[in-house]
Structure 1
Amino acid sequence: MQDKVYIGNSEFSSVPRIRGKKSSIWSKIYPIFSILIPNGVLKFCGMKSKEIRNAWREKIALVSIIFLLCCLLGFLTFGINRVVCKGNNQFIYGNLPKFNDQTVVGNGELYYCDEAEGLVRNLKTKTPTSCKRFFGKQITDEGLDPSNMIKISDIYFNFSDIKKLNLIAIEDKVYDPTIVTHNYFDDFIKQYTGKKADGNNLDPDALKCFKDACYFGKIADHTYGCIVADVLLYLSTVIIFSIIALKFLLAFLYSWYISGKTYISRVDRTSAGRMSRQNAIQNSNSNQTNDRIFLNTIMLVTCYSEDREGIKNTLDSLCDQNYDNKLILVIADGLIKGSGSDATTPDIIIDLMTVYHRSEASEYQSLNGTLNRGIVYTGTYTSSTNNSSDPSNVSENQLNHQRNNNTCKMMAIVKVGREDEKTKPGNRGKRDSQVIIMGFMNKLLYSERMTDLEYAMYESFIALDFNPMQLDIILMVDADTIVHQDALLYFNSAFVNDTKIMGMCGETKIINKASSWVTMIQVFEYYISHHLTKTFESVFGGVTCLPGCFCIYRIFINENGTVTPIVSHPAVLNAYSITKTETLHDKNLLLLGEDRYLTTLLLKTFSKRKLIFLPKATCRTFVPDTFRVLLSQRRRWINSTVHNLMELVSVKSLCGTFCCSMQFAVGVELVGTLVLPVSIFFTFVLIIVSILGKPAWIPLIMLACILGLPAILILITSFRLQYIFWLIIYIFSLPVWNFILPVYSFWHFDDFSWGETRKVEGEEKTETENVDVKTETRLFTLNEREYAKSRGRDVTELEDELIQKSIRQMDQLPGGPSQK
């Protein structure tokens, strides 16, 4: 059997995991864009580190490419006709501005004349002799003397001008029938006015008279270049219209039909709360049913610098879930005190929970390649939410159910750092916190050697009577997110109903909608990003971003006796736990958009499985209420979006083929994101030109569809007219969304900090740099049997001992069995 190396084994953990170290075409291309700027100048400007200088040069290259892409879009929009279409060099009547009082059109030519008063259509520079020969007299009136005029150019007409001016086209020339006065031509003029005629129903001499007397111009040439330009115009129009219409129709279909079939609506909600895991094991008749319907869930809350109220609201919402097979895991990312807080985040967490066991500071290897230490707290959390305003009106069984539902098993991990750490001890980032639990589950499945911290976690799971090998799904939320009490039930139901689903997200709603103009412009943007973008992607099972503030993944899935790891899969975990990045692209993936990158890795690894959006599962959160914080947040989001789409667009295994594929949709979204700044500029140009001149109907209709179809989608999906108000505010804020935020983000491609989003007490702004990887090999690991042997027990005896110990400790707690 071929040896496999998984993250966390003793051989692999001692080697830094580096992404992007190998030379690539990009590493040879990006320096060209800034070749004229020597390193000495960059050092003088404060870029001392080689990595910072390389990141800056990569940024310049990317910004230059985006600029060229915007120029290409401008050329295709405004310049291609002037270059490839010869007709643009002709004086076409319909394309010319309004004629002034000294402009004269006659005999197929455009003149300038001082004596003219407005547009004169019946100018004649000669008296045709052909009419006198046929009719015996002249049939036209005398015109202006051309000797006093200056010829500008020949004049050309499109067929739209011919119809509008009641002209007649014969062969490649245009004639004005109003010039002749003889009634011989009445029937001919009546039949062909505004049309093209062949002249076969006229006498040849009469036809020659008509041509000589009424000549007014030429039909505008339609060259091969014009044909190419028109084909490109209509092809792009059809593609864009098709994408707009398809996104709308599929979003409507998913909202009204598909999403309702994703979850099992017949599941009894109360059974989840009333039937605990322990009772299910004791009841063999119920065991199979409940194991099939209710999956064991771990609810991960990653904390950094949140305040007490935010953390408490999140834990209350998780504890109050109408679901019993759950455990709360909170990971505090360092000994951090938030700005304005009177206690550190770990102190707040420990104070909120009931602790009955605390481990020693246990070591593990963090993602920056150094050792870190964590303390595991085992206990319970009791929600302060009241499910009933009048307890006297409910039965004793209902009170017991309420009490059980409001108390949840909880584990807290506090990363305290090494003893020599002074600044933000233990802080290693959100991704490091996620990898702690993901790597732990991976090692359990593959029986890999575990660190001290992971065995402290293992002991905590056993003490909580929660077998970690039986965990099925992991819910990830931020510490400022309030989850609706039915969300976990809907997620679970969808997982049970469709085994192909490997991850989901719900709808995130805004709490502080009217706090400021900054929050107001985000309401519609949040709604449409879920109910248009994510619903469209869900039809293909390829949602490109499951937001880290509220998402859920499968840990393992057992199909026909075969256990397949999903979020804990070695391929996903190895790529997600890179210790050092070499390129700006990798830094944006791993340092800014780790949540989106996890989604990308799952799509790349499991292209046949699904990532979907479940609108029934909802949560609420606070959004930035100042523009400074919004700017910092969206910088991270936009840059991570661009780089993750770059990753996905190269994945050929995504569902669909060519234009009807998820890969094509990702490519369109990537290009659309990059050209946002210039697209909003072109939109304003289009509107102004349409007001002052001839409207460009195709782009205007396209713009109306882009803005109007989301409004229709809102009305038929939410039935809430208030969102029309938020749509209007969003339209007025388009310059912010499509110009200010993207331009700021692109120019800060090389900024990998979290900026103003998470402020820490006493934190100063520091230069962005990459942490050096200092691999430490003094970390000892043991497998499960070695660990049990070190305690003088076998595995089964150790588990039984831990369970009995936890029962005795819980029995002594206030409200425990011995206290009732």
Structure 2
Amino acid sequence: MAADDEYYAFDNESLLRSRNSANGNLQRGESLVRRDRNDFTNPANPHHYYAQKAQQQRENGQVQVQESIPLEDMGRGKKKSAPTKEPPTSLSIWQVYCYIITFWAPAPLLSLFGMAKKERQFAWREKIALLSVIFYAGTIVAYLTFGFTKTVCGSQVLRLRNNEVSGSYLIINGKSYDLDSSSHPAAAGIESGTNVLYPPINAGGMDASFLFQNVNGNCKGLITPKDNCSIPYDNDEDLAWYFPCKLTAQDGSTKPNFTVSEYYDGWACHTSQDARDAYYSLDAAAEVYYTWDDIKNSTRNLVVYNGHVLDLDLLNWLQTDDLDYPSLFDQLRDAKLQGYDISLVLSDSFERSAARCLSEIIRVGEIDSSTIGCLASQVVLYISLVFILSVVFIKFFISCYFRWVVARKQGAYTVSNKTMNQHAKDIEDWSENINARGPIKKIDPSMRSGGQRRVSAFDLIRRNSMMLLNDKTDDPNDKFRGMTTMTTQSYLKPNPADPIQGTSAFQSPFTNDLISSSNNLETLDATIIHPDVVAQPPVDFMPTTYPLIHTICFVTCYSEDEQGLRTTLDSLATTDYPNSHKLIMVVCDGLIKGSGNDLTTPEIALSMVDDFVVPPEEVEPHSYVAVASGSKRHNMAKIYAGFYRYDNSSIEPELQQRVPMIVIVKCGTPDEQGSMKPGNRGKRDSQVILMSFLQRLTFEERMTVFEYQLLKNIWQITGLMADFYELVLMVDADTKVFPDSLTHMAAEMVKDPEIMGLCGETKIANKGESWVSWIQVFEYYISHHQAKAFESVFGSVTCLPGCFSIYRIKAPKGADGYWVPILANPDIVERYSDNDTGTLHKKNLLLLGEDRFLSSLMLRTFPKRKQVFLPKAACKTIVPNSFSVLLSQRRRWINSTVHNLMELVLIKDLCGSFCFSMQFVIGMELVGTLVLPLAICFTIYVIIFAIVSRPVPIITLVLLGVILGLPGLLIVVTASRWSYLGWMIIYIIALPIWNFVLPVYAYWKFDDFSWGDTRTIAGGNKSAAHDEEVGEFDHSKIRMRTWREFEKEERMKAKGQGQHSRLGSILNLDLMPEVSNSDRDDHRSF
């Protein structure tokens, strides 16, 4: 890294360097292992955008622009606000493959099938290409499962164990021949058509090797006739036989017999050409084999040479009066080598030739052994078996460890396993009904609206400033036990260095200066704070022994009904987390009326807000840059601020807390007011509204008027600058949160600053509604308590569900006041707000699985930080109760899972290495997901094969039983109710749906980027997709300034309207709630 670089890599996550280090020329050396880590100019580098921001901050400092500036100059370097899509100069390898695999489908043909646009056609080509990749993966898995053994091991010959050959076989030279239906031609003593296996010959099960002797082969020149030899031989000394032509018992018990046949000498030796041809035409039905125990424990003189079993006692049958033979034969017979392998003993050329001769004349069978290929297939089989079982058992035991050791220590307090089980039962009872309310704690009367004693705004400012900055103890570090939040840092270090600029940033949020310059402004105008703002408790108020942390409860809604939205907001408003540290923010994605609703979703949301800062009818829309293409990038939204309005029928007045609430309504530009869904840009756009706002606030970048108004509204209803918020709880509008969940989530985040995101458990509230909901109960359970529990131990939960997860906006770094932006990191925001979805991969990531992509993006940018699962936190939701809706939902989930796993498997910095790494586990999960349909087919085949075949494949059935049975054991170990065993049986019965129907449907719909029937609206769901480019983006109407410039402008306007009269009205203001001393003593009142 160059010496003049103005950013520095800490743990591969932040690019901060203190000025003291910079001045001292301290710098980090370049990585010798992965040099690309420090190449921040590469857009593929996970910290590319952060490096740009840091560099711009160093180059520009605190740039103060006095006039409105165009959108192009929004602090994003040279990136244009409305880039034009330029055609690529060359095709990538993937694109070339897509065109090759779909060469048979030219563009005109695709146009006839409704795919007129080039992008739509290429998406289809990519789908076919991906299906081909799935086919390749399935073929490889099928080959390894069924074809590999047959390839390397070949077709095995039937093998019969010695002394167990039945009477339907005849043994010749160690091979068994099936002669049960044979007939012998007429010969001396044998009638035509006689079967030699039966009377009068009775050769069945006998050894007929001496009747078909292998002569004049390898023994030529070793066994020669004597001068007085009675065995016929020719001029080349080729002999007719070596042994008397007799049948012997297969157990070798027959004693040598040299008597001449009654018919003629050489009878039954089959020396004629016709007899030999008939013999050679026979196919051996089986091989006779011997085990090593057979050889060692036999009464016969058996040895092994090159895998052949030789009976040295058969040398006693050699006609020694007629033949000369090597003395080595007698030496081997008399050397007591029984049970040994003499392959290495016979080492010189003569000995080896003699051994080959013996293998031809006294071989009785083969040693029980396998070929190299068969051994290789067995090794692969057992390694695979051990590996699969290891993964299954490791996941099981780690999941149990998480449940019994880790989970009970998580959250706000450590509990016993008994208490943990009771808490799980309470959650289970609460989740049985979607409208059931959790156990809400009683609220101190001072925290309810109405009846408070009022004080002036300046009194509150002065009191809180003293509380935050001057109320120090002798040893403040002991008070917070080394844990850092924005509040504790302001308390302990009132003027630490700015994390980017090195300037003072963490002043009290309660300061005010109406006439200060924009350079000195640290907060907005305190006189505009709402009179009933919830007062901040003392800094040392820690109801759970952990410092409190300010949290935004972020709710995205689309077409929900009033009951669904009401129960969600009730659950957030009544959490036992102090309402001084939580802000509910609801984003309505367009002017949408849900199917069956009388009001639009924004109207429903606004009906739940009371005590508005600005009357709703006076709120004006403001422009912002949306995550869309073309003219849709320009969108407008309104911001409403007030406090949550309860329904007394659902929450009793004595349980109602005063909770600040922001409602953002994306209303669209005037040009789209006549469309079906004005303002609708999707859930990702709603999330980016907040993320982009937090990024600009963190880096003090220029922001739009809309973002400044958001900052202002937060200030008005909380009395806090938005940069004091450190967490964002993301909740869907159809999700209900258990009352103590936020407390546990926030406490876990405070305890471990390395955690950048965590999720709780999602429970199903309509378990028994239909068979479709039945089959999902165990699937939800196992995905949390096995998959997420396993990943959580390693801090790498790959999917934080968008319906119920909490993210860290920024994390403390060291003791010098530095903060690392996490969710507000430019590398996260820029990539998550990418509107270039030109490939099928990007469309699946950004349009279908944006929640999962955000989790993947966090792991990619911060691989050394943690994403964990917190079972103490729970929510409940309604799952699809019809198969069509389930099919639509799982299509999106499966496809997004596949594409996100493709992203995660490329992350090299996850924990572990090689086979013992999260990267390897993710790779296995990716392959497993792709071949799911094939896997269930194999499973069904194995079950059927085990029923009808013999012998039963024990190993395969054991493996299948372990894979399916361990989740059941996990239920016994971890579940709070035995009913989950019943849900597991239902899930197993439905495995063909989960592993075949849903994946096959999802894969065939790879190029379908719609949300289907999961959310329905009045008038239908058909409309243009968010990624469809219509028109051009006009940025001329969007003003960009820093918040200080906006604030200075407003203060100048207020000063021009009469500063003295305004101050007088403020000094007489008696609208702010007074925090009594008794309230401070009773910390539960906050």
State the TM bucket, normalised to the shorter chain: 0.7 to 0.9
> Aligned-pair distance for 1:122?
1.6
> Aligned-pair distance for 1:247?
1.0
Task: Give 3-state SS (helix, strand or coil) of 2:559's partner.
Answer: coil
Report what 2:1033 is aligned to: 775
> How far apart, CA to CA, are the structure 2 residues paired with 1:636 and 1:38?
28
TM alignment of 1:84-123, pairs within 5 A:
84-85=152-153, 88-93=154-159, 108-111=175-178, 113-114=180-181, 122-123=205-206
Report what 1:458 is aligned to: 711
Q: Give yes or no for the alignment of 1:63 onto 2:131.
A: yes
Q: Give yes or no for the alignment of 1:289 onto 2:557.
A: no
Code of the residue aligned with 1:302 in structure 2: it is T
Classify 1:271/1:485 alpha carbon distance in 2 versus 1 (closer, same or farther; 3 Å): closer
Cα deviation, 1:172-208, whole Å, max 9, x if unaligned, reads: 35799xxxxxxxxxxxxxxxxxx977799xxxxxxxx
Q: Give yes or no for the alignment of 1:424 onto 2:424.
A: no
Task: Give 3-state SS (helix, strand or coil) of 2:670's partner.
Answer: coil
| Of 656-665 and 257-266, the range deviating more from structure 2 | 257-266
TM alignment of 1:25-104, pairs within 5 A:
25-85=93-153, 88-93=154-159
Report what 2:956 is aligned to: 699
Q: Give yes or no for the alignment of 1:536 onto 2:604.
A: no
Report what 2:806 is aligned to: 552
> How far apart, CA to CA, are the structure 1 residues paired with 2:685 and 2:146?
49
Cα deviation, 1:395-416, whole Å, max 9, x if unaligned, reads: xxxx5xx343xx3211100100
Report if aligned partners of 1:294, 1:492 keep a CA contact under 8 Å in 2: yes
> How far apart, CA to CA, are the structure 1 residues paired with 2:736 and 2:245?
89
Classify 1:537/1:136 alpha carbon distance in 2 versus 1 (closer, same or farther; 3 Å): closer
Report if aligned partners of 1:111, 1:151 keep a CA contact under 8 Å in 2: no
| Of 270-279 and 562-571, the range deviating more from structure 2 | 270-279
> Aligned-pair distance for 1:488?
0.2
Q: Give yes or no for the alignment of 1:302 onto 2:556.
A: yes
Classify 1:532/1:302 alpha carbon distance in 2 versus 1 (closer, same or farther; 3 Å): same
Report what 2:1014 is aligned to: 757
Classify 1:41/1:258 alpha carbon distance in 2 versus 1 (closer, same or farther; 3 Å): same
> How far apart, CA to CA, are the structure 2 residues paired with 1:20 and 1:247?
47
Classify 1:809/1:703 alpha carbon distance in 2 versus 1 (closer, same or farther; 3 Å): farther
Unaligned runs of at least 5 residues, structure 1? 177-194, 201-209, 392-398, 812-820
Cα deviation, 1:496-544, whole Å, max 9, x if unaligned, reads: 1111111000000101111111111111100000011001111111100
TM alignment of 1:634-649, pairs within 5 A:
634-649=890-905
Classify 1:430/1:253 alpha carbon distance in 2 versus 1 (closer, same or farther; 3 Å): same
- Given candidates 718, 721, 726, the residue that maps to 2:983 is 726
- Given candidates 255, 258, 265, the residue that maps to 2:413 is 265
Q: Give yes or no for the alignment of 1:708 onto 2:962.
A: no
Task: Give 3-state SS (helix, strand or coil) of 1:289's partner.
Answer: coil
TM alignment of 1:486-635, pairs within 5 A:
486-559=740-813, 560=815, 561-635=817-891
Report what 1:238 is aligned to: 386
Report what 1:351 is aligned to: 607
Task: Give 3-state SS (helix, strand or coil) of 2:805's partner.
Answer: strand
Code of the residue aligned with 1:424 in structure 2: it is K
| TM-score after normalising by structure 2 | 0.64
> Aligned-pair distance for 1:24?
3.7
Task: Give 3-state SS (helix, strand or coil) of 2:1041's partner.
Answer: coil
Report what 2:930 is aligned to: 674
Report if aligned partners of 2:292, 2:339 keep a CA contact under 8 Å in 1: no
Report what 1:135 is aligned to: 255
> Aligned-pair distance for 1:705?
1.5
Code of the residue aligned with 1:122 in structure 2: it is G
> How far apart, CA to CA, are the structure 2 residues paired with 1:159 and 1:349?
83
> How far apart, CA to CA, are the structure 2 residues paired with 1:20 and 1:546?
35
Classify 1:557/1:214 alpha carbon distance in 2 versus 1 (closer, same or farther; 3 Å): same
Cα deviation, 1:258-292, whole Å, max 9, x if unaligned, reads: 2223334169x999976989997775477332486
Counting matched residue pairs gives: 765
Report if aligned partners of 2:170, 2:205 keep a CA contact under 8 Å in 1: no
Task: Give 3-state SS (helix, strand or coil) of 2:596's partner.
Answer: coil
Report what 1:203 is aligned to: none
> How far apart, CA to CA, are the structure 2 residues paired with 1:327 and 1:769?
29
| Of 713-722 and 647-656, the range deviating more from structure 2 | 713-722
> Aligned-pair distance for 1:170?
5.3
Code of the residue aligned with 1:39 in structure 2: it is A
Classify 1:534/1:729 alpha carbon distance in 2 versus 1 (closer, same or farther; 3 Å): same
Report what 2:1044 is aligned to: 785
Report if aligned partners of 2:627, 2:681 keep a CA contact under 8 Å in 1: yes
Cα deviation, 1:64-86, whole Å, max 9, x if unaligned, reads: 0100110111111111122122x
> Aligned-pair distance for 1:604?
0.8
Report if aligned partners of 1:631, 1:741 keep a CA contact under 8 Å in 2: yes
> Aligned-pair distance for 1:226?
2.4
Report what 1:815 is aligned to: none
Code of the residue aligned with 1:10 in structure 2: it is M
> Aligned-pair distance for 1:579?
1.5
> Aligned-pair distance for 1:386?
8.2
> How far apart, CA to CA, are the structure 2 residues paired with 1:565 and 1:111?
81
> How far apart, CA to CA, are the structure 2 residues paired with 1:588 and 1:244?
30
> How far apart, CA to CA, are the structure 1 residues paired with 2:741 and 2:1046?
38
- Given candidates 243, 251, 259, the residue that maps to 2:399 is 251
Code of the residue aligned with 1:82 in structure 2: it is K
> How far apart, CA to CA, are the structure 1 residues paired with 2:807 and 2:244?
88
Classify 1:121/1:429 alpha carbon distance in 2 versus 1 (closer, same or farther; 3 Å): farther
Q: Give yes or no for the alignment of 1:445 onto 2:709.
A: no
> How far apart, CA to CA, are the structure 2 residues paired with 1:732 and 1:40?
45
Q: Give yes or no for the alignment of 1:477 onto 2:740.
A: no
Classify 1:152/1:253 alpha carbon distance in 2 versus 1 (closer, same or farther; 3 Å): same
Classify 1:795/1:628 alpha carbon distance in 2 versus 1 (closer, same or farther; 3 Å): farther
> Aligned-pair distance for 1:149?
13
Report what 1:10 is aligned to: 74
Cα deviation, 1:235-265, whole Å, max 9, x if unaligned, reads: 2222222211211111111111122233341
Classify 1:326/1:122 alpha carbon distance in 2 versus 1 (closer, same or farther; 3 Å): same
| Of 524-533 and 291-300, the range deviating more from structure 2 | 291-300
Code of the residue aligned with 1:645 in structure 2: it is L
> Aligned-pair distance for 1:18?
9.2
Report if aligned partners of 1:21, 1:582 keep a CA contact under 8 Å in 2: no
Report if aligned partners of 1:376, 1:412 keep a CA contact under 8 Å in 2: yes
Report if aligned partners of 1:19, 1:586 keep a CA contact under 8 Å in 2: no
Classify 1:222/1:266 alpha carbon distance in 2 versus 1 (closer, same or farther; 3 Å): closer
| Of 779-788 and 46-55, the range deviating more from structure 2 | 779-788
Report what 1:153 is aligned to: 284
> How far apart, CA to CA, are the structure 1 residues paired with 2:593 and 2:258?
100
Q: Give yes or no for the alignment of 1:227 onto 2:481.
A: no
Report if aligned partners of 2:808, 2:823 keep a CA contact under 8 Å in 1: yes
Report if aligned partners of 2:608, 2:646 keep a CA contact under 8 Å in 1: no
> Aligned-pair distance for 1:727?
0.9
Instruction: Name the structure with the higher helix share.
Output: 1
Unaligned runs of at least 5 residues, structure 2? 1-5, 7-50, 58-70, 183-194, 212-242, 249-253, 260-267, 312-337, 344-357, 416-438, 448-459, 473-536, 1074-1086
Task: Give 3-state SS (helix, strand or coil) of 2:923's partner.
Answer: helix
> Aligned-pair distance for 1:740?
0.8
